[in-house]
Amino acid sequence: MTDDSILNLRGITKAYGDVQTLAGIDLELRPGEALGLIGHNGAGKTTMMKIILGLIRPSSGQINVFGHNPAGRAHGDVARRLGFLPEAVNFPGAMTGLEVLKFYARLKGIDVSQCPGRLAAVGLGDAARKRVKAYSKGMRQRLGLAQALLGEPELLLLDEPTTGLDPDFTRTFYDLVDERRATGAAIILSSHALAELEPHVDRLLVLQNGRCVAEGDMAALRAQTGLPVRIRVSGGDGSMREELAALTDIQTNRINGRTVEFICAPERKMELIELVSRTQGVEDLQIELPNLDRIYSHYSNGEDRT
């Protein structure tokens, strides 16, 4: 554990009788880092978050949050430095949005005067005095985010945070999270919306049946999986497919009369680009590296796990 780490997990396991939900999880998170936590339903993501929050204790292993056991005597102090947005947001319907936020502010020992501003930041300023039972699913999700951001948390845990949000506010949501991260907060984001998650995290941890099957940034995961690169070349009549036919172990597909797609191993990428650049009639070249959806599919299908 480094001196500046906010979160440190070592050999964390959790079992309920014969059912093991987490097995040997190691993780360190430092200020300003954002981790994407991905996996199938039941992979152990929510269990891991509950252990970090101190809501449940691990069966074995060691956990430190701000240098303390979050389920120990320092639980209250640790909790005040955390923000949490659960997957299923549920607030008392008879309370107004402002009343809900003031309730949570008092729990965290925070001045309630910041609550109206928090509601305005998530687009609920005009609905502050409306009862929560009249809120849409997206509005309740926004209220949950406002609650999670109370008190400028130093560690923010977000479990499927964009569920029910429209595309415009999804962008606003990530702006708010990125702002918090820029101040030095550490972020854990769990989401099935992988395309929107990818640009906002530094590293990813892939859980499969309670085990970490991969961890690292996108470059490291691409290297681990060895997934092929797709290169689309346009121009002329697509004759480069024939001109480059001598290349071995490179698949070619004619997409239309002017575009050919080459699929090659990562280590052949530069060779292919150089050859294409010397081919007559090339007008455009597009390189598609394996994205997070493809990487996750690779691991979820059980291929070449590390």
pLDDT tens column, 210-245 = 999 999 999 999 999 999 999 888 876 555 656 665
Q: Which among 173, 189, 161 has a CA at the least distance from the CA of 33?
A: 189
Q: What DSSP line would sit under 84-142, residue for residue?
A: EE-SS----TTSBHHHHHHHHHHHTT--GGGHHHHHHHTT-GGGTTSBGGG--HHHHHH
Please report the pLDDT score of residue 306 as a whole number.
Answer: 35
Residue 305 has pLDDT above 50, yes or no: no
CB 250 within 8 A of CB 264: yes
167-177 confidence digits (pLDDT tens): 999 999 999 99
Distance CA 85, CA 190 (A): 10
Give the position of tokens 């430190």. Answer: 64
Please report the pLDDT score of residue 2 as a whole number.
Answer: 56
pLDDT band at residue 304 using 50, 70 and 90 as cut-offs: very low
Please report the pLDDT score of residue 242 as a whole number.
Answer: 64
Please report the pLDDT score of residue 70 as a whole number.
Answer: 94
Give the position of tokens 């339903």. Answer: 41
CB 35 within 8 A of CB 202: yes
Structure tokens at 249: 């172990």
The amino acid at residue 211 is: R
82-112 confidence digits (pLDDT tens): 999 998 889 999 999 999 999 999 999 999 9
Instruction: Map out the domains of the chain with their CATH numbers.
Output: 7-81+153-222 (3.40.50.300), 228-289 (3.30.70.260)
Q: Which among 299, 83, 72, 77 has a CA at the least distance from the CA of 179?
A: 83
Structure tokens at 296: 């996750």
**pTM attached to this predicted model:** 0.87
209-218 confidence digits (pLDDT tens): 999 999 999 9
Q: Which among 161, 169, 146 has a CA at the least distance from the CA of 197?
A: 161
133-177 confidence digits (pLDDT tens): 999 999 999 999 999 999 999 999 999 999 888 899 999 999 999
Please report the pLDDT score of residue 158 as a whole number.
Answer: 96
Please report the pLDDT score of residue 171 as a whole number.
Answer: 92
CB 159 within 8 A of CB 85: yes
